[in-house]
Structure 1
């Protein structure tokens, strides 16, 4: 379901919750109460918009999350509390429209019930609803690996029903088991081979299959091109495996990166107006961030001196756009004797101090990076910059790792809000798939989306190491 439609349904349900709360208050408690869109309009609108926006920021629009019932309940509860707080602040401190405790409790309770029921029903439909039947053009190991991964995803509407002989790619691709973010299942039964490529149209019509998937576009034979043309002409839509995976997992599958993706990415990045707008947002937000940091600096300096002697700032080499090395600046959060070691950060790193753990959870230690953004070394949004030694290791072990350096590194990014920090080569491979998705779809709107959702990631303590 499109994200915009999910957002509009959330708006409608929250408005219904507010109106129902007003009706209950008038019927059972205060007959003259004006709670609702007809009376306390501004406060009711604040509750409605806060709930819909909160549902988006907490990821409740993502089909993959809706299959995790505990996560759904927890996040809907958080959204409901946010709606009540928004109503309270607007009603009592901005617009002076007193609502009363009963009304606030009812707004929160009804918002929780309606949003939760709708999410659970939607999640059940995703898990049990009909699937779009697809056929893989090819029977090679890459095709079988992709089909196994796609068929094990519970939240996707696609299902591979069979393979067609003669449609496999001829180029060798990287063989890594986790680059699509999903380990290759060992006990999943392969769909059947339906027949040869020459009969693909008749085979699809007999099996009522309306979609076909080709793994790559490099090295296609004339027979494969002709088969895809016939399929499209007979109403069977042809997709690349990369596009399918990007739609269902919001990642670029590393083992399916081909020449077309590279060329499309180059064209995407060759847009001066977009890059200029991105730079303007970087400078504006960074200026505000530096002013906030300047106001906090005296208190931070005193507390850090008491907690751990040593310099206030910490600088370290990181790899940026085009592989250039620059010095990133942070508030020091590790002991002086060990701060120059280049190694993976762990969730409970023994190099951190008591005070620094708080800074990391709140991301205050990263405020000096706004200066790197002003200088042009970094952007607000982009792939997380890594240390040169770690980059050398990852470029040896992970195909296409250097492609993340096509754009400036960022303080936050698409990979940060979906996975957080990586502490191994395998985790970095999955994280790279998110980074490449961002690189290929770079836009100002996507940057703003990531910045908004970073707020929830910070509150949930995701990725703080």
Structure 2
């Protein structure tokens, strides 16, 4: 299966097809439920058909958002059938709660209990069947997109080590690795192939859909004429870095070269994009502030009761263009937790964290005061997480391109936060930077909205909390 650049974000076309059919299922469920509920009562059915379409639109929107928030449209799904079933149940329960509230706010959306229950039953059954069929189709070898990797060195080896799990290879069939003259061989012998009698003939014979160029050395050892013949014959030719960006939605720093950043698409900073992002930040922050004000009041009382003042914690962080700003958080550690003046990452089971603080961190309530940073314009709702200057100074010296994450405003949540668990080591910082660079390169309101919805799953299950 191929990928589609959808609002700057790379999405597998298989997931777009799945989403399309699932939207049809959601929209059809209230209609089918109405027919089942009033079977034989033609007059009642005719009287209700005129308003069912509006209810179906509302039902579809609410359930679809709940499905995204429950993680059912993540690219790298590792849930299994039971995990999908559990998330569907959670998504439908959340949808039911939202709909009950919506019925009071917009009476036109009201659906009787019988029709609503039938709609959920139809949706659950149909979505389970669709997911099962989707998983089966994606495993059919003849329908997978066939890749030939040109190269056997470090960059080529990183493909196999990165796509370790079956879920990472969804819709991908790597036929083998073709050696290049003068290049070291780091690929196991059983994965090596001989391209005979020519690259174009081999590609045609084996039904190759795409060639990934993963050469370690310069382009002088590439069979340019043969690659051109393959390209003119309709075979896609992709650089290894583009392959990673499209397949796993991150930029692989360990195999990256500066010229790729110079000539690749992305990094748009037009005025309209910045204004729309700022409007998005303000609207979402105000809504969240209103909805979460009871939780914030509860946090204030809990902190005061356990350990007294101060309730809030201010700390210097590095923001856009490397400028420092004070970040606001609820205090979760003992007072004077860094009395020796040394900056430390929070670790699992950190003794400096109070009992209330542990709960606040697990539920992410400690992050809510950062809403005021967003309203000040120091942060965005979505972006790379802001780090402390002490850590930035160390990491920038050890990790290439680390300072590039400061090209945009830091965020309350981000692409790295939903794709990678909490990290407190240099290795973790390296991995998260690859996701941060993908966001900096490809950010859009669509990607921000998807990150915002998927953050709900991270908060609910306490993923990565310290």
Give the TM-score normalised by the residue count of structure 2.
Answer: 0.83
C-alpha displacement of 1:135:
1.6
Question: What's the RMSD between the two structures over aligned residues?
Answer: 3.5
C-alpha displacement of 1:439:
1.1
C-alpha displacement of 1:312:
1.5
Q: Are 2:437 and 1:436 aligned?
A: yes
Q: Is the 8 A contact 1:139 1:166 kept in 2?
A: yes
Q: Is the 8 A contact 1:333 1:352 kept in 2?
A: yes
C-alpha displacement of 1:393:
4.0
Q: Are 2:146 and 1:141 aligned?
A: no
Q: Secondary structure at the match of 2:177?
A: strand
C-alpha displacement of 1:283:
3.9
Comparing both chains, which one has the higher relative contact order based on Cα–Cα distances under 8 Å and sequence gaps of 6 or more?
Answer: 2
Partner of 1:192: 192
Could you report, residue by residue, the CA deviation over 1:153-202 in whole angstroms, capped at 9, with x for unpaired residues? 444222222333327889xxxxxxxxxxxxx9x9x764223148x93223
Against the structure 1 CA distance between its residues 246 and 71, is the aligned structure 2 distance closer, same or farther, given a 3 Å change threshold? farther
Could you report, residue by residue, the CA deviation over 1:416-436 in whole angstroms, capped at 9, with x for unpaired residues? 122242133333332222111
Within 1, Cα distance between the matches of 2:182 and 2:35?
62
Could you report, residue by residue, the CA deviation over 1:125-162 in whole angstroms, capped at 9, with x for unpaired residues? 22344322222222223313324544754442222223
Partner of 1:207: 206
Partner of 1:123: 135
Could you report, residue by residue, the CA deviation over 1:288-345 in whole angstroms, capped at 9, with x for unpaired residues? 5566677776554333211212211111122223333332121111111315653232
Could you report, residue by residue, the CA deviation over 1:252-287 in whole angstroms, capped at 9, with x for unpaired residues? 122232224322579624433322332333344445
Q: Secondary structure at the match of 2:435?
A: helix
Note the 1:268-279 alignment, pairs <5 A.
268-279=267-278
C-alpha displacement of 1:9:
1.6
Within 2, Cα distance between the matches of 1:50 and 1:218?
51
Partner of 2:10: none
Q: Is the 8 A contact 1:46 1:86 kept in 2?
A: no
Q: Is the 8 A contact 1:160 1:191 kept in 2?
A: no
Q: Is the 8 A contact 1:214 1:239 kept in 2?
A: yes
Could you report, residue by residue, the CA deviation over 1:359-396 in whole angstroms, capped at 9, with x for unpaired residues? 33443322322332344432221111122333344345
Within 1, Cα distance between the matches of 2:46 and 2:441?
50
Question: More displaced, 95-104 or 347-356?
Answer: 95-104
Within 2, Cα distance between the matches of 1:257 and 1:358?
40
Note the 1:256-271 alignment, pairs <5 A.
256-264=255-263, 268-271=267-270
Within 2, Cα distance between the matches of 1:273 and 1:97?
34
Within 2, Cα distance between the matches of 1:25 and 1:274?
47
Partner of 1:394: 395
Q: Secondary structure at the match of 2:325?
A: strand
Partner of 1:46: 58
Within 2, Cα distance between the matches of 1:254 and 1:336?
39
C-alpha displacement of 1:217:
9.4
1:60 corresponds, among 72, 80, 85, to 72
Q: Secondary structure at the match of 2:191?
A: coil
Question: More displaced, 276-285 or 45-54?
Answer: 276-285
Within 2, Cα distance between the matches of 1:336 and 1:298?
20
Question: More displaced, 264-273 or 245-254?
Answer: 264-273
Q: Secondary structure at the match of 2:238?
A: strand
Q: Is the 8 A contact 1:417 1:453 kept in 2?
A: yes
Q: Is the 8 A contact 2:150 2:212 kept in 1?
A: yes
C-alpha displacement of 1:229:
1.9
C-alpha displacement of 1:115:
0.9
Partner of 1:309: 308
Q: Secondary structure at the match of 1:268?
A: coil
Within 2, Cα distance between the matches of 1:168 and 1:272?
48
Q: Is the 8 A contact 1:381 1:450 kept in 2?
A: yes
Within 1, Cα distance between the matches of 2:389 and 2:433?
16
Structure 2, unaligned runs of 5 or more? 1-12
Partner of 1:163: 177
1:105 corresponds, among 117, 120, 134, to 117
C-alpha displacement of 1:100:
4.5
Within 1, Cα distance between the matches of 2:47 and 2:122?
14
Within 1, Cα distance between the matches of 2:71 and 2:96?
19
Q: Secondary structure at the match of 2:136?
A: helix
Within 1, Cα distance between the matches of 2:347 and 2:172?
37
